[in-house]
Amino acid sequence: MFRYFVRRVLQGVLTFFGATFIVYALMFANQTDPLQALAGERPLPDNVRQALTERYHLDDPFIVQYGHYMRGLLTGDFGVSLTNRKISEMMSQAWPVTIRLAVLAMIIAVMISVTAGIISGIRRGGPFDTVTLVITLILLALPIVVLAPLAQLLFGIQLKWFPATAGADPGLFQLILPAAVLASLVIATEIRVTRASVAENLRADYVRTARAKGLSKRRVIGIHVLRNSLIPVVTLIGLDLGNLMAGAIVTEGVFNIPGVGFNLFRGIRTEDGPLVVGFVSILVIVFIVVNLVVDLLYAVLDPRIRYE
Amino acid sequence: MTDIKAEIDVLPGLDSSARLLEVEDLRVEFRTPAGVARAINGVNLHLDPGETLAILGESGCGKSVTAQAIMGILDSPPGFITGGAIRYRGVDLLKLPEEQRRKVRANHIAMIFQDALSALNPVFSVGFQLGELFRVHRGMSRQDAKRRAIELLDMVKIPAARQRINDYPHQFSGGMRQRVMIAMALALDPKVLIADEPTTALDVTVQAQIMNLLAELQRERNMGLILITHDMGVVADVADRISVMYAGKVVEEAPVLDIYARPAHPYTKALLESIPRLDLKGQKLNVIKGLPPNLTRIPAGCPFNPRCAYTRDVCRADPPPPQYDVAPGRTARCHFWTEVAGNEPAVS
């Protein structure tokens, strides 16, 4: 187990460097003239241009720039954005908001999808199952760029159930609507996986044994079936965290939430390399850690899996 | 503890002088999109304490369905019991409300399944799955239940029971797993044990150990055992009586020695002739031609008639052959049983 853990961590380090390198390269390749973008319409004086070029090492070859950047990153220095703000400061404001949003979305998604998945798994072909199927199909068909403004228009502006935008330091209530929109991104697949898993486990031989042991239906399903059914669901939930982060870029943009996605969105638009790569680096670390935790959790949930 | 046991044992109408288990004219059908499959068409069985009844037949003849109907664990839908009675000490189990029926399982009638690896829950330790019985049915604490679970593993002769109690099913060998199944079935001291092909998934040496263990535990507890199998070799060693099933009916029932000496139904005879024998080495093995009937379209008359060497016109027409009394305690559903069994009257 320990060796497996160490190997996974080492793999994670490699993944980290690979991913940041690619992101950095993409930003680099996409760059036309970030300094001009910064200045907008006005012409940029030559001496300013020269000073900034030196400051951001814009004249160096790509690999040297990457080296400079990584050196800073590894010593805990995220550098400054092209708008001259400390990126570490921006992060400490943005991350708590996004974590709140993602966790809220995750809770909403898990509560709805596990409950609905179990019920439709038990009563396959029943009215509940059919209605759930139709709803999941609609959710799957609607991309979040459509769903988010739609939800904002309907629940935020017309019905006024929730605030339409979240504001500078959003609390839980302001985040409910965006979190629900974000959750809808993963609910459909989570319901389908739970349903399939429950249905499959209900047919398993050990269920017959449990019934032959004179256990109540409640216990057979609530303990024996559920514990087995949740193994693939837990894995999926872990991996869905990635989807939520990606979805957050659009959701935070639409609902004006000053989180990671919001900053990334702005960074990409203004060709702000240091900003984008800094945020993505942390995202990569989150992904790697979550994946590792999911894999370790998998071994805890399913005793048949032992990592060597 | 004994008080709780006594309390649970009380079933309304339980009559200790009535027969331990009696199945009468049981009928089960499966309603599938492809049609109604009549899996059990009037099965009669009975079992006394300490007795071993073997139910023999090909796959799909209704052996396992009969067992599941007795246990009350038939998947419904698609399976429906459409008629008959299953009486345990005089109590018709089919008329019991589900809550009481549930308590009959494991407490009075228990069951062992074929493949212990899939029949045990992979994600719970053996100790949990054994202890669960005591916690649910006897209201024991986790600790007491665990202690009893260790005793059970000892009883089925699993070495180092105390250390292995926290192991998971996949960590046991096939034979040890089947011992765990047996321990689980016997935990609450049932009076009837149904073993559905308990040794099919095991290799031959282990098979013998498991059968010996079952026989030993049965003797100690004076328990009635229903052994479902398609292995005539296993049957000969342990069974007292045999019921041969074909297309959802018991076609022949007899004490074990009689049936081997002189089968009275063509199907039984064909089964016996298809056992490979050392003294006939090199010769072509006898097989039963054809396939068992599709249960959605059982042929008129005797269901075995398309595969039978004795078939005459009467066999192809309804009504199917009745249950002929061949000898005391011996029946066969064949119009020509005298011919099958040989000319002299078949007496045991």
Residue B227: CATH number of its domain:
3.40.50.300
> What is the C-alpha separation between B88 and B224, in angstroms, rounded?
11
Q: How far is CA B103 from CA A165, B218, B282, in A?
A: 58, 21, 53
Residue B113 has pLDDT above 70, yes or no: yes
Write the residue in A212, A227, A302 that is nearest to B71 by C-beta: A212
> Would you say residue B348 lies in a domain?
no
Query: CA of B120: which chain A residue's CA is closest?
Result: A206
- Tell me the C-alpha distance between B135 and B155, whole Å: 19
- For residues B95 and B223, membership in a common domain is answered with yes
Mean pLDDT of A191-196: 93
Residue in chain A lying closest to B188 (CA): A213
Per-residue b or e along B216-228, where b marks 16 or more CB atoms closer than 10 Å to that residue's CB? ebbeebebbbbbb
Partner-chain contact A216 B122, CB within 8 Å:
no
Domain boundaries, given as residue ranges, for chain A: 2-74, 89-269
Q: How close is the nearest chain A Cα to the Cα of B29, in Å? A: 19
Q: Chain A: give the shortest CA distance to residue B273, in Å.
A: 34
Q: Which residue from A204, A214, A227 is facing B118, i.e. has the nearest CB?
A: A204
Beta bridge partners of B81: B28
- ipTM of this model? 0.86
CA distance B40 to B43: 7
pLDDT for residue B194 is more than 50: yes
Give the residue, B339 or A210, on which the prediction is more confident.
A210
Chain B: nearest CA to A206, how far in angstroms?
4
Which chain B residue shows the shortest CA-CA distance from A229? B123
**CB within 8 Å: B122 and A303:** yes
Q: Which of B213, B239, B265 is the last residue of a domain?
A: B239
Which pLDDT band holds residue B343 (cuts at 50, 70, 90)?
low
Whether pLDDT at A37 is above 70:
no
- CB spacing of B121 vs A206 below 8 angstroms: yes
Structure tokens at A190: 């989570």
Pick from A113-122, A267-276, B206-215, B218-227: least confident: A267-276
| pLDDT(B2) > 60 | no
Which among B239, B273, B308 is the end of a domain? B239
Q: Which residues pair with B85 in a beta bridge?
A: B24
| A-B Cβ pairs (cutoff 8 Å, strict) | 71
Given a cut of 60, whether residue A261 has pLDDT beyond it is yes
Q: What is the pLDDT of residues B252-267, one digit of tens each?
A: 999 988 888 888 899 9
- What is the signed CA dihedral for A12, A233, A149, A153, rounded to 10 degrees? -150
Q: Are residues B230 and B311 in the same domain?
A: no
Q: Identify whether B347 is part of a domain.
A: no
Structure token digits, residue A14: 């490699």
Instruction: Please judge whether B121 and A216 are an interchain contact, meaning their C-beta atoms are less than 8 angstroms apart.
Output: no
Cβ contact, residue pair A211, B73, below 8 Å: yes
Q: What is the pLDDT of residue B3?
A: 46
Instruction: Examine the domain organization and report whether B161 and B270 are in the same domain.
Output: no
Q: Is the pLDDT of residue B277 over 60?
A: yes
CB A266 within 8 A of CB A101: no
Which chain A residues have a beta carbon less than 8 Å from that of B115? 205
For residue range A132-144, what is the model confidence (pLDDT) as tens digits?
999 999 988 888 8
pLDDT on residue B340: 83
Tracing tokens 């990635």 back to the chain, one arrives at A242
Q: Residues with Cβ < 8 Å from A147, sequence gap 6 or more?
A: A139, A181, A184
| pLDDT number for residue A114 | 92
Query: What CATH number was assigned to the domain covering residues A89-269?
Result: 1.10.3720.10
Which DSSP symbol is given to B296? Answer: T
Q: How far is CA B220 from CA A34, B5, B213, B271, in A?
A: 89, 19, 11, 32
Picking from B180, B205, B239, the residue at the C-terminal end of a domain is B239
Instruction: Check A304 against B124: CB less than 8 A apart.
Output: no
Tell me: do B289 and B271 sit in the same domain: yes
Q: B266 and B177 share a domain? A: no
Minimal-distance CA residue of chain A relative to B118: A205
* Residue B100 forms contact with A (CB below 8 Å): no
The total number of structural domains that make up chain B? 2
Residue B259: inside a domain, yes or no? Answer: yes
Q: Looking at the structure, tell me whether residues B289 and B231 fall in a common domain.
A: no
Which pLDDT belongs to residue B10? 65
Convert the pLDDT of each residue in B220-248 to its tens digit.
999 999 999 888 877 888 889 999 999 98
- Tens-place pLDDT, residues B298-318: 888 888 988 888 888 888 888
- The pLDDT value given to residue A129: 92
Q: Are residues B74 and B216 in the same domain?
A: yes
Q: Are B10 and B178 in contact (CB under 8 A)?
A: no
pLDDT at residue B9 in the model: 54
B199: contact with A, CB 8 A cutoff: no
Structural domain containing residue B174: 2-239
At B1 the pLDDT is 44
Per-residue pLDDT tens for A110-166? 999 999 999 999 988 889 999 999 999 998 888 888 888 888 888 888 887 888 777
**B137 within a domain of the structure (yes/no):** yes
* Residue B346, in any domain of the structure: no
Q: Is the pLDDT of residue A57 over 80?
A: no
pLDDT at A212 over 90: yes
Cross-chain residue pair A213–B119, CB shorter than 8 Å: no
Q: Which residues of A touch B (CB under 8 A)?
A: 204-206, 208-216, 219, 224, 227-228, 231, 301-304
Lowest mean pLDDT among A22-31, A295-304, B119-128, B172-181: A22-31
Tokens describing residue A114: 């596990």
Which pLDDT tens digit goes with each residue over B60-79?
A: 888 889 999 999 998 878 88
